């Protein structure tokens, strides 16, 4: 057991250990932070297999046997085993805590099969070969002392062939109640750790668009939306995310509400880290909300429309308008092959004109913000070649969607904007 160097009461750890049937050594990290603690424990360990966990987790009786069994079946040095983390039975799981388990703190529900991927290397319950940890170089206790420490190690380990397997039977219970106030207090550390992580690995956005950067992108998208009440958050423990029609609406409402609650603290801390001090890629902050003077300059109907949308808690009015725009686009371009994926949103001012035919595909979850216009009136040169004259006005109006296909489509579109071949004439 390794106590943090910044622990004000190290004797409390000794009292917690007490007298046990098995020997326990209490060590102290060389400097504050989880990375230093894990490195200290790794150097003191004598076995060839290392199992990492946290001080707020309780091991199930079969934890160690499950990890050992999987390493016997997969003896390769590059194989690591990820165990499951669930909330302890002693605490009451709130909707917010349930939301944390779906891609924010952990992401176990989205693991298919046993291949977890290096992005889910959670230090709360993971085992790895000692020789492989030494090959990677241990945890970066200088630059990543706390938060993103395990992710930084996993990314460096992936360059050495890390294979992370998910064992659902190796379980620890998370004995810590969490609420919004606790996570608001952590947002400053999260923002600093994410910026430092992106600075250390500037190649990540190109290799993994999902990490571009992850929390900044999610909080920026939430801050750009009007505030909502998030009534769906009370139902997420009862309604599965994959339930047709109702699931995406309930979870979408809860996800946007919780991100909006945490976004101000995160974005404030991100902005305080001056871009001049960051050597890596710098992401611009989202546009500020309209000022009161701008709201007063709006017409009565527009102010009423915004008020209804904000107070309703659900974006039924914009979604209805988006559905009408889709029908109009299809009606206006009968000779073109236009396909919209699921949950595609067309913002105000969306215009698509393809009188000579062509193809326009929007992936699942793609969002076209205000003022997107595409003019494909020039004929192509034959075959599958794109039109010679294709004008995309305000290409920055395209926003990445939630799904992987939408992100890939938007990423490809950004690469194509320089040559204007997003829509191809056939």
Query: pLDDT per residue over 74-102, tens digit each?
Result: 999 999 999 999 999 999 999 999 999 99
> Which tokens belong to 81?
């085993």
- pLDDT at residue 16, as a whole number: 81
Arithmetic mean of pLDDT, 217-231: 89
Give the global pTM.
0.66
- CA atoms of 199 and 214, how far apart (whole Å): 14
What is the fold of 2-178? Spore Coat Polysaccharide Biosynthesis Protein SpsA; Chain A (3.90.550)
CA distances from 164 to 89, 98, 127 (A): 27, 24, 10
Q: Which residue has the tokens 């165990």?
A: 83
β-pairing, 125-129 with 398-399?
A: unpaired
- Asked whether the beta carbons of 317 and 309 are under 8 A apart, the reply is yes
Asked if residue 190 lies in contact with residue 215, where contact means CB atoms within 8 angstroms, the answer is yes
- Report the pLDDT value the prediction gives residue 372, as an integer from 0 to 100: 79
Q: How far is CA 350 from CA 172, 322, 344, 386, 425, in A?
A: 50, 9, 12, 21, 20
Asked whether residue 295 carries a pLDDT value surpassing 70, the answer given is no
d(CA 39, CA 424): 54
Position 57 scores a pLDDT of 95
Who's near 332: CB < 8 A, 6+ residues apart? Answer: 352, 353
Range with the poorest average pLDDT among 46-50, 75-79, 323-327: 323-327
Q: What is the pLDDT of residue 425?
A: 32
Residue 291's contacts (CB-CB under 8 Å, 6 or more residues apart) are none
HSE at residue 336, side-chain half, CA atoms within 13 A, is 25
| 99 secondary structure, DSSP code | H
Residue in the structure block whose two tokens are 């302890």: 88
Q: Is the pLDDT of residue 359 over 60?
A: yes
Rounded CA gap, 168 and 60, in Å?
12
Q: What would the mean pLDDT of 23-32 be, rounded to a whole number?
A: 90
**CA dihedral defined by 9, 13, 15, 21, rounded to 10 degrees?**
-170
Q: What is the pLDDT of residues 416-425, one digit of tens each?
A: 332 222 333 3
Secondary structure letter of residue 396 according to DSSP: G
380: pLDDT strictly greater than 70: no
pLDDT > 50? residue 145: yes
Look at the block and give the residue holding tokens 């039109």. Answer: 387
pLDDT value, residue 305: 54
What gap in Å lies between CA 352 and CA 332, rounded to an integer?
9
pLDDT, residue 351, reads: 85
Most confident stretch, 147-151, 286-290, 377-381: 147-151
Contact 154, 119 (CB under 8 A): yes
Q: Distance between CA atoms of 210 and 203, rounded to whole angstroms? A: 13
Q: Which residues pair with 81 in a beta bridge?
A: 127, 165
Domain with CATH 3.90.550.10 in the chain: 2-178
Other Cβ atoms less than 10 A from the Cβ of 186: the count is 15
Residues 6+ apart with CB under 8 A from 270: 191, 195, 216, 285
**Neighbouring residues of 92: CB distance < 8 A, sequence distance ≥ 6:** 177
| Rounded average pLDDT over 286-299 | 44
């Amino acid at each position: 057991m390794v106590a943090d160097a910044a622990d004000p009461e190290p004797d409390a750890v000794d009292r917690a250990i007490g007298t046990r049937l098995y020997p326990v050594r209490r060590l102290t990290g060389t400097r504050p932070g989880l990375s230093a603690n894990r490195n200290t424990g790794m150097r003191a360990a004598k076995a060839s297999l290392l199992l990492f966990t946290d001080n707020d987790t309780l091991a199930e009786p079969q934890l160690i046997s499950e990890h050992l069994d999987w390493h016997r079946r997969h003896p390769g040095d590059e194989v690591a085993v990820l165990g499951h983390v669930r909330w302890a039975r002693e605490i009451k799981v709130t909707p917010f805590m349930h939301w944390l388990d779906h891609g924010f703190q952990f992401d176990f529900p989205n693991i298919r099969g046993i291949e977890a991927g290096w992005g889910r290397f959670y230090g709360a319950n993971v085992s790895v070969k000692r020789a492989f940890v030494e090959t990677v170089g241990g945890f970066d206790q200088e630059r990543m002392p706390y938060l993103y420490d395990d992710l930084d190690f996993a990314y460096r380990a992936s360059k050495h062939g890390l294979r992370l397997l998910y064992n659902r039977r190796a379980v620890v219970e998370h004995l810590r109640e969490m609420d919004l106030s606790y996570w608001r207090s952590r947002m400053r550390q999260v923002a600093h750790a994410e910026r430092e992580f992106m600075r250390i690995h500037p190649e990540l956005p190109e290799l993994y668009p999902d990490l571009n950067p992850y929390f900044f992108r999610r909080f920026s998208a939430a801050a750009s939306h009007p505030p909502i009440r998030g009534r769906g958050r009370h139902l997420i423990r009862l309604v599965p995310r994959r339930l047709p029609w109702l699931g995406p609406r309930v979870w979408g409402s809860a996800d946007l509400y919780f991100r909006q609650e945490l976004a101000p603290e995160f974005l404030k801390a991100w902005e305080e880290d001056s871009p001049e001090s960051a050597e890596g890629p710098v992401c611009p902050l989202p546009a500020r909300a309209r000022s009161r003077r701008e709201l007063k300059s709006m017409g009565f109907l527009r102010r009423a429309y915004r008020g209804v949308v904000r107070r309703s808690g659900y974006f039924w009015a914009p979604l209805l308008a988006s559905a009408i725009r889709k029908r109009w686009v299809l009606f206006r371009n009968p000779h073109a092959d236009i396909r919209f994926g699921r949950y595609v949103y067309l913002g105000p001012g969306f215009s698509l004109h393809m009188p000579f035919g062509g193809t326009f595909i929007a992936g699942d979850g793609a969002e076209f913000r205000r003022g997107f216009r595409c003019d494909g009136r020039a004929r192509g040169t034959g075959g599958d070649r794109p039109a010679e004259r294709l004008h995309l006005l305000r290409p920055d109006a395209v926003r990445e969607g939630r799904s992987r296909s939408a992100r890939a489509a938007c990423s490809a579109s950004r690469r194509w904007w320089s040559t204007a071949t997003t829509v191809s004439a056939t």
